[in-house]
Amino acid sequence: MTNEARNRAIVRGTALVLATAVALTGTGAAAVADRAQQAGPGGSTVNGALQREVARHVLDAGPPGYLARIDNGRRVHTLAAGVADRNTGRPITVRDQFEAGSNTKTFTAVLILQQVDRGKLALDAPVERYLPGVVPNGSNITVRMLLNHSSGLFSYTGDPDFFVDMEKDPQHVHTDAELLAIAFGHEPYFPPGKGWQYSNTNYTLLGMILHKQTGKSMPALVKERITGPLGLKRTYFADPRATNTGPGYARGYAITYASGTPRYTDTSSWPLGGWAGAAGAMISTADDLSRFFSAVLQAKLFSPKQLKQMKTTVPFPAEFPMQGGYGLGLIRTDSPCGTVWGHGGDTMGHHSTAVATEDGRRTAVTDTTGEPADLTENPGVQRYYQAILFGADTVTICQMLGKPAPAEVLDNLRGTTPASSVTK
């Protein structure tokens, strides 16, 4: 896989992440912990046997650990398997914190929509009004275009050297100016408003707008306006690194498959906030993300008017490997089992998913503690994407909605469909 192909794969994973996985991990050293607790009247419709099978296949794809939480509106079903730390062998639990990656975009979008409610921002106003002289062609790019990825601005993570340079100097903390210089060194994907392309640059700019308007940092705003009011005690914005990464924290691993045997690099000490920022720096838990996305879809953090705006989506391109659309920091996924809303994230060591039903009453959150790091295509990378993105993620949605997963999805999960025909 070329550098650019790898970047496309990361973007693809970030979007596909919305087809939430109930992928659990488990190794010979740690069995699957499988539990259901009452959340309301009625019995659980989550198929525990299927979830354990998902865990086995996801583990076989290489990640050291996995956790999942599915609330089907009647019961909360949790699973955890594998290890949270390959060095100590500590088993992962469903309560562990993890890097939530681009789930952060929904947090950032909430803060922006709160500013709209306060009369401080207008969604269809040009970026030039709020960041004068910063964005090329900023007079023709609106705040809405940043939020729904229709600005056309090149994503700094799409630069062929970005991740190569990161691996050479993983402790480098990028400034917003550095990230923008990388992005603006490339031609836009298309004129403003004339297409759709996922771009982390959009959310770097939104974070800059928030800081300029409020005089407060993203960590402070997240705590003051989101995690505090919702009581999310284990969710925070990495500034720039994750803190409190001892017991109760699921470490993340970049996985290299090229040698035929997976090799692991612990990326947990890398400064997530120093490259992902307002686009991907949140640390959270399955419980907290479930509560957050439920609150978003019930308009508990902003007005119902802003929720309507958030759910106004730009359709994914026809060639995109999933059906649905992107709203204002919120993805609509039209899965084989039904439509769900949410987001997800891929960091250098984690693949997480978070979805909810439109009424916010059912949620599903997962985290896989491994992410492919190869710069060349190989069977290990193909199998990772096939099992997790094209198999397990959709199985979770179906389990949350109480519907059977389609045969082709189970074929992807089990590897009975050739990986190359799925992942290209």
Checking if the pLDDT of 2 tops 70, the result is: no
Answer yes or no: is pLDDT of 25 > 90: no
Mean pLDDT of the region 234-243: 96
DSSP state of 224: I
End-to-end CA distance of the chain: 11
Boundaries of domain holding 68: 3-423
Enumerate the active-site residues.
102
Q: How many domains does the chain have?
A: 1
- pLDDT given for residue 124 in this prediction: 98
Bridge partner residues of 75 (DSSP): 38
Residues 6+ apart with CB under 8 A from 418: none
* pLDDT at residue 11 tops 90: no
Q: Tell me, what CATH number does 52's domain have?
A: 3.40.710.10
Mean pLDDT across 173-189: 98
Write down the mean pLDDT value for the chain: 90
CA 422 to CA 259: how far, in whole Å? Answer: 22
Q: What share of the chain is helix, strand, coil (3-state, %, to 5)?
A: 40, 20, 45
- What per-residue confidence (pLDDT) applies to 31? 55
| Higher per-residue pLDDT: 135 or 1 | 135
| Range with lowest mean pLDDT among 84-93, 227-236, 289-298, 412-421 | 412-421
* pTM as predicted: 0.92
Instruction: Provide the greatest CA pair distance for the chain.
Output: 58
Q: Is pLDDT above 60 for 20? A: no
- Is residue 48 very low, low, confident or very high in pLDDT (cuts 50, 70, 90)? confident
Looking up tokens 């990361």 gives 10
More confident residue, 269 or 33: 269
Average pLDDT over residues 303-308: 98
For 346, the token pair is 């891929």
Instruction: Give the phi and the psi of residue 99 in degrees, each rounded to 5.
Output: -70, 120
> Token pair of 13, please?
């994973």
pLDDT at res. 114: 98
Residue 48, helix vs strand vs coil: helix
- The pLDDT > 70 percentage for the chain reads 90
Which H or E element spans position 340?
strand 338-346
Would you state the pLDDT for residue 249?
97
Residue whose tokens read 């087809």: 19
Beta pairing partners, 78: 35, 69
pLDDT at 244: 83
Give the model confidence (pLDDT) of 338-379 as tens digits: 999 999 999 999 999 999 999 999 999 999 999 999 988 899
Q: Which amino acid, one-letter code, is at 21?
A: A
Query: What is the tally of helices (H) and strands (E) in the chain?
Result: 16, 15
**How many other C-beta atoms can be found within 10 angstroms of the C-beta atom of residue 407?**
9
Looking up tokens 């999933």 gives 322
- Residues in Cβ contact with 131 at an 8 Å cutoff, skipping those fewer than 6 apart: 138, 205, 208, 209, 212
